[in-house]
Structure 1
Amino acid sequence: MKNLLTDIAGVRVGHAEDAKVASGTTAIIFDSPAVAAIDVRGGGPGTREDALLDLANTVERVDAIALSGGSAFGLDTGGGVQAWLAEQGRGHRVREALIPIVPGAILFDLLNGGDKAWGRFSPYRDLGYAAAAAAGTDFAIGSVGAGLGATTATFKGGLGSASAVTPDGVKVAAIVAVNAVGSVTVGNGPWFWAAPFEVDGEYGGRGLPDKFTDDMLRMRIKGGPAASARENTTIGAVVTDAVLTKPQAKRLAMIAHTGFARAIYPVHAPTDGDVLYAAATCEKPIEPLVGLTELGTVAANVVARAIARGVYCATALPFGGAQPAWRDRFGG
Structure 2
Amino acid sequence: MKNLLTDIAGVRVGHAEDAKVASGATAVIFDSPAIAAIDIRGGGPGTREASLLDLASTQERVDAIALSGGSAFGIEAGAGVQAWLAEQGRGLNIRGALIPLVPGAILFDLLNDGDKAWGRFAPYRDLGYAAAVAAGDDFALGSVGAGFGATTATFKGGLGSASAVTSSGITVAAIVAVNAVGSATVGDGPWFWAAPFEVNGEFGNHGLPDKFTDDMLRMRIKGGPAASDRENTTIGAVVTDAMLTKPQAKRLAMIAHTGFARAIYPVHATTDGDVLFAAATGAKPIDPMAGLTELGMVAANVVARAIARGVYHATALPFAGAMPAWKDRFR
User: Shorter-chain TM-score: which interval?
Assistant: over 0.9
CA contact (8 A) 2:13 2:26 kept: yes
- Please, what TM-score do these two structures have when normalized by structure 1? 0.99
Q: Which amino acid aligns with 1:318?
A: P
Report the alpha carbon displacement of residue 238 of structure 1 after superposing the two structures with TM: 0.1
Identity of aligned residues (%): 85
Offset, 1:188: 1.1
Which residue number in structure 2 is paired with residue 180 of structure 1?
Answer: 180
| 3-state DSSP of counterpart to 1:67 | strand
Post-superposition offset of 1:156: 0.3
Match of 1:294? 294
Matches within 5 A, 1:274-285: 274-285=274-285
1:224 match: secondary structure = coil
Report the counterpart of residue 330 of structure 1 in structure 2.
Answer: 330
Pairs within 5 Å for 1:18-57: 18-57=18-57
Secondary structure of 1:135's aligned partner = coil
1:223 positional shift: 1.9
Q: Deviations over 1:130-169 (max 9, x none)?
A: 0000000000000000000000000000000000000100
User: Could you say what secondary structure the match of 2:212 adopts?
Assistant: coil
Contact kept in structure 2, 1:166 and 1:298, CA below 8 Å? yes
Preserved contact between residue 41 and residue 268 of structure 1 (Cα < 8 Å): yes
- For residues 231-270 of structure 1, the aligned pairs below 5 Å read 231-270=231-270
- For residues 169-206 of structure 1, give each alpha carbon's deviation from its aligned partner in whole angstroms, at most 9, with x where no partner exists: 00000000000000000011100000000000000000
Preserved CA contact (<8 Å) 1:65 1:104:
yes
* Residue segments in structure 2 that go unaligned for 5+ positions in a row: none
Is residue 259–residue 301 contact of structure 1 (8 Å, CA) maintained in 2?
yes
Q: Secondary structure at the match of 2:214?
A: coil
Shift of residue 230 of structure 1?
Answer: 3.0
Alignment of 1:45-84 (within 5 A): 45-84=45-84
Question: Aligned partners of 1:8, 1:230: CA distance in 2, in Å?
Answer: 33
Q: What residue in structure 2 maps to residue 154 of structure 1?
A: 154
- Aligned pairs for 1:118-133 (under 5 A) are 118-133=118-133
Secondary structure, in 3 states, of the residue corresponding to 1:226? Answer: coil
For the residue of structure 2 that corresponds to 1:237, the secondary structure is strand
What's 2:197 paired with? 197
Corresponding residue for 1:91?
Answer: 91
- Structure 1 residues 74-96: Cα deviation after superposition (integer angstroms, max 9, x where no partner): 00000000000000000011111
Match of 1:320 in 2: 320
Which residue identity is paired with 2:221? I
- Which whole-Å CA distance do the structure 1 matches of 2:90 and 2:223 have between them? 42
CA contact (8 A) 2:229 2:269 kept: no
Asked if the contact 1:44/1:272 (under 8 Å) is kept, the reply is yes
Query: Paired residue for 1:218?
Result: 218
| Per-residue deviation, residues 50-86 of structure 1 (Å, max 9, x unmatched) | 0010000011000000000000000000000000000
CA-atom RMSD, angstroms?
Answer: 0.6
Which residue matches 1:15?
A: 15
> Aligned partners of 1:321, 1:69: CA distance in 2, in Å?
20
Match of 1:209 in 2: 209
Q: Is the 8 A contact 1:66 1:103 kept in 2?
A: yes
Shift of 1:43: 1.6
State how far apart, in whole Å, the 1-side matches of 2:60 and 2:226 are: 41
Distance in structure 2 (CA, Å) of the matches to 1:205 and 1:26: 28
Give per-residue Cα distances to partners, 1:295-314, cap 9 Å, x unaligned: 00000000000000000000
Partner residue in 1 for 2:142: 142
In 1, distance between residues paired with 2:243 and 2:55?
17
Deviation at 1:271, TM superposition (A): 3.3
Give the whole-Å Cα distance in 2 for the aligned partners of 1:194 and 1:229. Answer: 22
Q: Deviations over 1:222-277 (max 9, x none)?
A: 12233325310000000000000000000000000000000000001113210000
SS at match of 2:208: coil
1:159 aligned partner, one-letter code? L
2:222 touches 2:229 (CA, 8 Å); kept in 1? no
Check the 8 A contact 1:227/1:271 in 2, yes or no.
Answer: no
Structure 1 residue ranges, 4+ long, deviating more than 4 angstroms after superposition: none
Distance in 2, matches of 1:227 and 1:294, equals 39
Distance in structure 2 (CA, Å) of the matches to 1:137 and 1:96: 31
Aligned: 1:228 with 2:228: yes
